[in-house]
Amino acid sequence: MGLSQTFEFATATRILFGPGVSQHLAEYIKPGITRVLLLTGSRIDRIRSIIDRMETHKVEMTPFTVKGEPTVDLVRKAARKARETDSEMIISIGGGSVLDAGKAAAALAANPHDIMDYLEVIGRGEVLTEQPLPFFAVPTTAGTGTEVTRNAVITSLEKKVKVSLRHAFMLPDLAAVDPLLTHTMPPPVTASTGLDALSQLIEPYVSLKANPLVDSICREGLKCASRSLKKAFDNGDDPQAREDMALASLFSGLALANAKLGAVHGIAGPMGGMFQIPHGVICGRLLPWVFEANIKTVEKMTAVNSDSLSRFQDIAQILTGDKNAGAEDGIEWLKNLCEHLHLPGLSAYGLSEEAFPELVQKSQKASSMKGNPVVLNRDELYAILAKSL
């Protein structure tokens, strides 16, 4: 793998970061906009102060609740709601599912065709022709980084797969990352979302599309996650740990939007469509074994050996805090992290060897798999899945 010296970097038009920034959201709404579709999770009471502040600015908000991960039908309904209420913009305040639903709805409300015309893999993959409605993203979890990405992950219940609606137009107009909003996450959600962020910092750093700007972001994000994920899990009111994880999540979104992911997400997408497993749990359980498989395969390939191995070694040294750590030490650190976070094996959610053939077949076709530093064969993917049980 050679480091790309020709690259592009794109992100949200404006990023706000810091404790309390969400309270100033209304100040960034363009003058003249008065009708907003507001997407939230089921606990709208948690963000009442934000809503109250927007109402004082004479912004009329139509609420739309997102329960669970966004499906094709839910996104259709949200886009229809935006059109029916003549909404001039969409604001999402919630976890990654709420943000993805809002991002997709903003795009579809302004474009003429059905969502299936634009979806990757299972749809026609057509290009958006119209700019989406203005969209603000305010995460209340620390993991997906979707507040600064150009895609929305959508579940097709019919096809039993997760796929992306993707276009450069879909970068949010504003991302307001307020660590204070993450303090109420329970430990299991802290673990799951944190592991998602961690995997999204590791995979772009070793991906085929790695570049110097993304590298620096990944390294800083990994430092934050390595020192603070356990602390945030153990004590959800630790302000420095929550701030670190919010930053790690933001950096992971910046990284994945401007480089590729890899086999962890290549498997996680199809698995999440086939089984009701939290995305971050899948990522966490796969991460040590994908890390291990990639190292072993890289060691067999002399053409990419030096650069790729050094990158895995970089990660291991950041995670462990040991400048003499080897790449294999990163595997043990990741395994120990999963144990500390009490992460269940995937068999607890119904995954069994019977699903492996279909899962491997779908994973090999996944877009994220194209960024993995090496091609993992069928047997290697089977072994990864078996170890994740």
The reply to whether 60 and 140 lie within a common domain is yes
What DSSP designation does 34 have? -
Question: How many structural domains comprise the chain?
Answer: 2
The reply to whether 72 and 214 lie within a common domain is no
pLDDT of residue 45: 79
| H or E, element range at 305 | helix 302-320
pTM: 0.94
Higher pLDDT, 320 or 158: 320
**Which of 181, 202, 232 delimits the end of a domain?**
181
pLDDT, tens digit (0-9, with 9 covering 90-100), for 252-273: 999 999 999 999 999 999 999 9
Mean pLDDT, residues 116-127: 91
Quick check: is 248 in a domain?
yes
Quick check: is 1 in a domain?
no
Instruction: Give the phi and the psi of residue 175 in degrees, each rounded to 5.
Output: -120, 120
The reply to whether 175 and 252 lie within a common domain is no
pLDDT of residue 305: 54
pLDDT, tens digit (0-9, with 9 covering 90-100), for 357-374: 999 999 999 889 999 999
Share of the chain above pLDDT 90, in %: 83
b/e sequence 314-326, b meaning 16+ C-beta within 10 Å: bbbbbbbeeeebe
Quick check: is 3 in a domain?
no
Higher pLDDT, 168 or 51: 168
Check pLDDT > 80 for residue 79: yes
The reply to whether 130 and 204 lie within a common domain is no
Q: CATH no. for residue 31? A: 3.40.50.1970
Check pLDDT > 70 for residue 3: no
> How far is the C-alpha of 16 from the C-alpha of 179, rounded, in Å?
11
pLDDT of residue 337: 98
**Average pLDDT of the residues of the chain:** 93
Check pLDDT > 60 for residue 239: yes
3-state secondary structure at position 95: coil
pLDDT of residue 302: 57
- Among residues 111, 143, 139, the alpha carbon closest in space to that of 124 is found at 111
Both tokens of 339, joined, read 């144990």
3-state secondary structure at position 108: helix
> How far is the C-alpha of 86 from the C-alpha of 37, rounded, in Å?
9
β pairing state of 174-177 and 135-139: parallel
The reply to whether 148 and 244 lie within a common domain is no
The reply to whether 171 and 39 lie within a common domain is yes
The reply to whether 212 and 105 lie within a common domain is no
pLDDT, tens digit (0-9, with 9 covering 90-100), for 149-196: 999 999 998 888 888 999 999 999 999 999 999 999 999 999 999 999
Quick check: is 8 in a domain?
no
Higher pLDDT, 5 or 235: 235
The reply to whether 273 and 337 lie within a common domain is yes
The reply to whether 169 and 23 lie within a common domain is yes
Query: Which structural domain range is residue 55 located in?
Result: 14-181
CB burial of residue 48 (10 Å; 0-12, 13-18, 19+): exposed
Check pLDDT > 50 for residue 1: no
Mean pLDDT, residues 9-16: 94
Q: CATH no. for residue 358? A: 1.20.1090.10
Check pLDDT > 60 for residue 29: yes
> How far is the C-alpha of 105 from the C-alpha of 320, rounded, in Å?
41
Mean pLDDT, residues 138-144: 95
Quick check: is 4 in a domain?
no
The reply to whether 281 and 362 lie within a common domain is yes
pLDDT of residue 307: 79
Mean pLDDT, residues 33-39: 95
Quick check: is 2 in a domain?
no
Quick check: is 141 in a domain?
yes
